[in-house]
Each structure stands twice: as C-alpha cells, then as structure tokens.
Amino acid sequence: MFHDLPAAMTERMAALCAMHEADKTDGTPRFDRLRQISPDTGKFLALLAAQVPAGDWVEVGASAGYSALWLSLAARLRGATLTTYEISARKQALARETFALTGVTDLVHLKEGDALPLLAGHTNLALVFLDAERAILRQCYDLVIPRLVPGGLLVVDNAISHAHEMGEFLAFVPTDPRVDSLIVPIGSGELVCRKVEGV
C-alpha cells in the first residue's frame, strides 16, 4: 500500500500537511483548522483497514480529506469504498479537491452535512473512524457499535491528546461487553474497538 504512491497522492498529502502545520499558529479559528491525523496514524489506519471483515467503511470528520487518502489505499487493496462525512462547507470544498486531484473519487464518497442523523442509516459496518467533535462522541459510539459486523473495527482519534475531555467515555468503553478495546499510543492516541462475535 505504501510503496509507489502516485505523485498526485504524495503531493496532495504534503500540501495538506503544510496547511495543517500553518493553521495551528496563523490565527485560523479552530472550526476552520484542518486538525488532521499524523502520517503515522494514517499508516496505522490503512493497516487496520486492510484487515477488517467485509462490510462498509465510514469516517466521521473528513476535514480536507487527509485521513481518507490513507484509508483509500486500503480501500483500493480490498475493493472497498469509504463514505466520509464533513459538516464544514469550507472543508467539504477542500476534500472534494483532494479526492479529485488524487483520483480516488471511485473509492471515497464525500457526504456533505451532519453525520449524526445519518449514521443510523448504515448497516453492516466493517470500519468506522470517528474524528469529529468530542461532544457527539458517545452518541456516535452508541449508533455505530450495534451496526458493526462481528470483528468490525471502530477507531476513535484523540484518545490520549484529549483524554481529559473524554474521561467518562474512555472509562465506559473497556466495560462494554460488545467490544474488545485498546488505546494505541500513536499520533494523538487511537482507541481501537473490535466488535465481539455473537453479541
């Protein structure tokens, strides 16, 4: 997956990383900042995605499409498609541009709007990456877990960097008998939840 990335992909990834670094310090308001995952986290997500059972892939929080590009590498390998949700019009435009420039519009489908009311429309989920606002995290979790196929994965970003804002949620997940879970210290900290068979 990581060998011989097309030039359009490496160039767009580099451009998004540069925008992401710049907007941390240039006064861009938080809502408009890209706040994207690290390159190592992208590789980690792609490695996980390459192993999930059959089913649908969903991302909540596309931003400019950086994490979706990493997931698209696994999607191409697996013959899967990723549906990614983004609520900000500015970022929807950037994500559309990202997916067009890198030639992944057959693999990544951008859904414009609030993911929360639409998650219930998904069934048969094999992979979900939650990377939106902490305020909707538990609601997203409660919608996603019953819709995951056995062995399907839910990955939640910022489980270390923003653990102080996720205390109740992070205390609850290890007690949920429907999933086996672990926080992996990569990037901002990835909470990986695997749906248990037979629940």
Ligand X SMILES: C[S@@+](CC[C@H](N)C(=O)[O-])C[C@H]1O[C@@H](n2cnc3c(N)ncnc32)[C@H](O)[C@@H]1O
Q: Which residues bind ligand X (CB under 6 A)?
A: 35-37, 60-61, 63, 66-67, 85-88, 91, 114-116, 131-133, 136
Least CB distance to ligand X at residue 131 (A)? 4
* Cβ pair 145, 155 in contact under 8 A: no
Minimal CB distance residue for ligand X: 61
**Three-state SS for 1?**
coil
For residues 68 and 148, which CB has a smaller minimum distance to ligand X in the complex? 68
Who contacts 15 (Cβ-Cβ below 8 Å, separation ≥6)?
Answer: none
Give the type of residue at 93: A
Backbone angles phi, psi at 196, to 5 degrees: -75, 145
For residues 82 and 145, which CB has a smaller minimum distance to ligand X in the complex? 82
Least CB distance to ligand X at residue 174 (A)? 24
For residues 31 and 180, which CB has a smaller minimum distance to ligand X in the complex? 31
For residues 1 and 118, which CB has a smaller minimum distance to ligand X in the complex? 118
Please tell me the total number of residues recorded for the chain in this structure.
Answer: 199
Secondary structure, 3-state, 106-141: CCEEEEECCCHHHHCCCCCEEEEEECCCHHHHHHHH
Least CB distance to ligand X at residue 150 (A)? 26
Least CB distance to ligand X at residue 172 (A)? 21
Distance CA 2, CA 20 (A): 21
Q: Which of 72, 78, 126, 76 is nearest to 95 (CA)?
A: 72
For residues 17 and 196, which CB has a smaller minimum distance to ligand X in the complex? 17
Least CB distance to ligand X at residue 182 (A)? 20
Distance CA 112, CA 91 (A): 10
